[in-house]
Structure 1
Amino acid sequence: MRRVAASVVLGLAQVVSACSLEPEYQRPAMPTTSTFAADLAPEADGPPATQIGWRDFFKDPRLQRFIALALENNRDLRQAVLRIEEARAQYRIQRADQLPNLNLGGSASRIHTGSGGFGGTTGGTGDVPGGGVIPGGASSTTLNRYEIGVNVSSFELDFWGRVRSLTEAARAAYLATIEAQRSFQLSLIADVATVYLVDRELEERIALAERTVRARREGLEISRLRLEVGATSALDYRQTETLLTQAETELAALQRQRAQNRNVMQVLIGGPVPTDLPPPRPLSEQGIIETISAGLPSDLLVNRPDILSAEEELRSANANIGAARAAFLPRISLTGSFGFASTELDELFGNDGETWSFGPILSLPIFDAGRNEANLDLAVARRNIAVANYELTIQNAFREVADALAARRWLAAQIDAQRRALEAERERAELAELRYRNGVADYIEVLDAQRELFAAEQNLVATRQLQLSNAVALYVALGGGLMAESSPPAGR
């Protein structure tokens, strides 16, 4: 009998679902064209972004240190890592429902029945083991009872795949959090790099502004001396003063932007900027790879972690439909136990003390006021939302890559034009100064040429920063190179 009971319990515990009510998962069709527009940018000869680790992509040691600090200390990234732990625990909890829970229990009790109880007798001496004799012939009884056994409580036989669907949904949600964390890592790297490049831009523009301010202060002093000896007019002097204040205003604005930009960096790296950082490189020596191969839009489906995360969320929503459908069908659960019981502790494990019980429980929903139907509608609606979110994520990824490719083409042309414009403005400023000294032109012509030269210098530096930031944006838009990075991501 012992073997029969054990076989029944273990055999039923291994029953798996014979079918699944989940809709067959099909990846939605690409909501974009199959190729990027040919006129966005010529195909580059560089390697794919996924094969370039971020340490290889960014060559500036100072920037590498900032990125490493951000991956280690950023609080938002830390939350993303903890969400992975949360989702992993939820998945393990749900997966545990696919197996029976075995509990080992034991008890010991001592029971006394008086002469007036059900165990009492009259007319006898009460001469029983553990009993006593009561005057008048009535007897009392005291018994010991010991029990030990293994129990299975309410294990659901997953005939319709309800538990399995819930487990699959939890697993997909867990995988989605992993991809979401990778997506945030890429965004964090891009944010740190962009803030750093802006800082380099502001430093160079501030240096230009400071040099311009010094030159214009000297010019103002010369103009003052000329005014005192009558060699120039008060109008020319005031125009020179205005030119100086414009440069001073621009310098103050740039210094304010630099201070605010560095505050952003402190938030990104999760603390104060260390004092032992390597010296920075200028924009022209950053060495950022600008010849990344774009590949095909379909490559984004397996390279972009945000798309992979959206697809796992879609898988999770699809699995929940199966669980909602299974709720309409009968649910069978098992309870059972196997063990030993005896009145004597030393005879507890004897054959005569063997006990077992087995009981299936059938539950069939008859009336639930539309709850199950509403849960199914909710699961279907959430699956449709997940489909729309997945398609939107793909469209946004396509747009980001297309924008970066277009910018890569036209920023190169813009920088070339601005270089030529800067050379022209320098020659113009020199000619205007020469014409003014020879009395051919008014001083207003000199002031105008100097303003345009200053603006051209500032614009060229800003555009160089945009070109490098665009290379970073393309690197991230194509999926980055987290998998190619030799060092493990923070928190993994």
Structure 2
Amino acid sequence: MKHKVIYSLIALVYLAFAKAYAQQPDASLLTREQAVELMLENNYGIQIARNSEIIAENNTSILNSGYLPSLQGTAGASIDENDSKTDFNGALDGNGVPRDDIEINNAQTTQYNAGLSLNYTLFDGLGRLYNFKRLKEQYQLSQLQARSTIETTTVQLMSVYLEIARLTENEKIFQENLQISKQREQRAQYQFDYGQVNKLEVLNARVDINADSINLLNARQQLRNTKRDLNLLLNRDLNQQYVVDTTVTFQNILVIDSFLEKVKQNNVSLLQAESTLQISDYDIKTTKALLLPRIGLSGSYGWNQSENPPTAFFPSTTRTSANIAVGANLTWDIFDGGSSLNNLRNAKIAYKNEALFKSQLEQEVARDIANAKGNYENALAIYKMQEQNVLTNDDNFNRTQEQFKIGQVSSVEFRQAQLNLLNAVTIKNLAKYDAKLAEYQLLQLVGQILNMPL
């Protein structure tokens, strides 16, 4: 009787702890679409990629093209103050009288000047034209890089989201499994009280309750940790509470097959390689422009004013002048030591490397898509098999449970049927979400992850 009281107290303490441990604030549903919206708005990596895109867009402005003239203005002023003394050394004036010394103090000379200088490159071998095209292509590349970041982050987000959905379903399964074990323990206790079974049956049932309780606690802790991982991706409070949608709908395989025909037009990695190749082509043309002459126009306007103090021989004067100059110039680096030719050779080799990289990438993408499609089809097949396996184990468990109630099977056989069903359901959940993740990965490779419903 003493042991019975102790076991009852332990059970009550555990139930109270489990209830407190599982207690959570009210949580709202976070759909996949809402998660993606929050990711696009808050994720640090995406914000950085978009800022880089804005910088590349700014670089395509006419202000960065080299097509506008340069205008420079200058202005200045100066004041000189001098003291002077003129000694005539006894020289006589017109009346035969020795000349007096002339002393001038604080004589100021003031000068002002202002000017405008205009320069314009009329022709530079088309270098600025191809450089401007290069900047536009660089902007297109930055857009593709931002898209690549968004696609990769979306798949990462969905991976964590699906893991939360799997753990959510597992928590429910472990909870139901624990309830079955408690009912078995209660039944064994009644049978022991009436002398139908020995104490070992009760103890075995309690051992299984303890194992099922640990599984449930671990599942809940994993669920909390994974929810924090998702909150981190969404850049919000790590302890934000929510529930996820566990519904999974697979895309029509025929629709996915249709995307395979347009991989070169949609795969972001291939599009980036094509853009990089085009930039290398513009680099060659820009380098060639250095071998051609450059023609420029220039113009200037200047204004000067000088206020001079009186001297021993002249009165104070003010002098003002203005000038306008217009000119043209031609510059041609006929031979610059060979650096331009060397740069041109290197630019052509860089272009060949980019072409080789693109060809290699095309093969790699084709391989990745073939693997991803095979993984997806295999995952779907496994999921369907696991669904059938769950039905078989569920039927087996129900039959075993009925036989256990009438004493035709032992508690060991009942427990084995219970564990078989538990494993079958958890494996089916894993197969379901693995198949959905494989679908997301395939959609990313064919460039449609952002265009299809999640």
Task: With the length of structure 1 as denominator, give the TM-score of the two structures.
Answer: 0.67
Match for residue 427 of structure 2?
459
Work out the number of aligned pairs and report it.
400
* 2:272 is aligned with 1:303: no
Larger radius of gyration: 2
Give the secondary structure class of the aligned counterpart of 1:360: strand
Aligned CA RMSD, in angstroms, stands at: 4.3
Higher relative contact order (CA 8 A, sep 6+): 1
* 2:46 is aligned with 1:83: no
Give the secondary structure class of the aligned counterpart of 1:425: helix
The counterpart of 1:282, out of the listed 218, 241, 246, is 246
Kept in 1, the 8 Å contact 2:65–2:128? The answer is no
Distance 1:396 1:103 in 2: 54
1:251 to 1:441, Cα distance in 2 relative to 1, 3 A: same
Give the secondary structure class of the aligned counterpart of 1:295: helix
1:476 to 1:374, Cα distance in 2 relative to 1, 3 A: same
1:357 to 1:238, Cα distance in 2 relative to 1, 3 A: same
The counterpart of 1:160, out of the listed 120, 125, 136, is 125
Kept in 2, the 8 Å contact 1:429–1:450? The answer is yes
* 2:384 is aligned with 1:416: yes
After TM superposition, the structure 1 = structure 2 runs for residues 182-193 of structure 1, keeping only pairs within 5 Å, are 182-193=147-158
Match for residue 217 of structure 2?
252
Q: Deviations over 1:65-117 (max 9, x none)?
A: 2221111111111101111122233444884323331234455667899999x
Distance 1:156 1:254 in 2: 71
The counterpart of 2:67, out of the listed 85, 91, 98, is 98
Give the secondary structure class of the aligned counterpart of 2:258: coil
Q: Deviations over 1:147-200 (max 9, x none)?
A: 5554234x5554433333333322222211112112222333333333223212
Give the secondary structure class of the aligned counterpart of 1:283: coil
1:430 to 1:298, Cα distance in 2 relative to 1, 3 A: closer
1:477 to 1:341, Cα distance in 2 relative to 1, 3 A: same
Match for residue 13 of structure 1?
none
1:364 to 1:112, Cα distance in 2 relative to 1, 3 A: farther
Identity of aligned residues (%): 14
Q: Deviations over 1:319-361 (max 9, x none)?
A: 222333444x25536462232546599xxxx9x9442043536
Distance 2:203 2:127 in 1: 84
Match for residue 316 of structure 1?
279
Distance 1:334 1:362 in 2: 8
Q: Deviations over 1:391-424 (max 9, x none)?
A: 4554454445444533443344333322221121
1:114 to 1:100, Cα distance in 2 relative to 1, 3 A: farther
Kept in 2, the 8 Å contact 1:433–1:446? The answer is yes
Kept in 1, the 8 Å contact 2:232–2:238? The answer is no
Kept in 2, the 8 Å contact 1:201–1:283? The answer is no
Structure that is richer in strand per residue:
2
* 2:180 is aligned with 1:180: no
Match for residue 117 of structure 2?
151
1:361 to 1:135, Cα distance in 2 relative to 1, 3 A: farther
Task: With the length of structure 2 as denominator, give the TM-score of the two structures.
Answer: 0.71
How far does residue 273 in structure 1 lie from its aligned partner after superposition?
Answer: 6.8
1:341 to 1:295, Cα distance in 2 relative to 1, 3 A: same
Kept in 2, the 8 Å contact 1:157–1:331? The answer is no
1:113 to 1:170, Cα distance in 2 relative to 1, 3 A: farther
Give the secondary structure class of the aligned counterpart of 1:294: helix
User: Which amino acid letter does the alignment assign opposite residue 307 of structure 1?
Assistant: L
User: Which amino acid letter does the alignment assign opposite residue 155 of structure 2?
Assistant: A
After TM superposition, the structure 1 = structure 2 runs for residues 9-28 of structure 1, keeping only pairs within 5 Å, are none
The counterpart of 1:332, out of the listed 294, 297, 301, is 294
Distance 1:363 1:337 in 2: 21
5+ long unaligned stretches in structure 1: 1-59, 117-122, 126-133, 486-492
Distance 1:453 1:195 in 2: 26
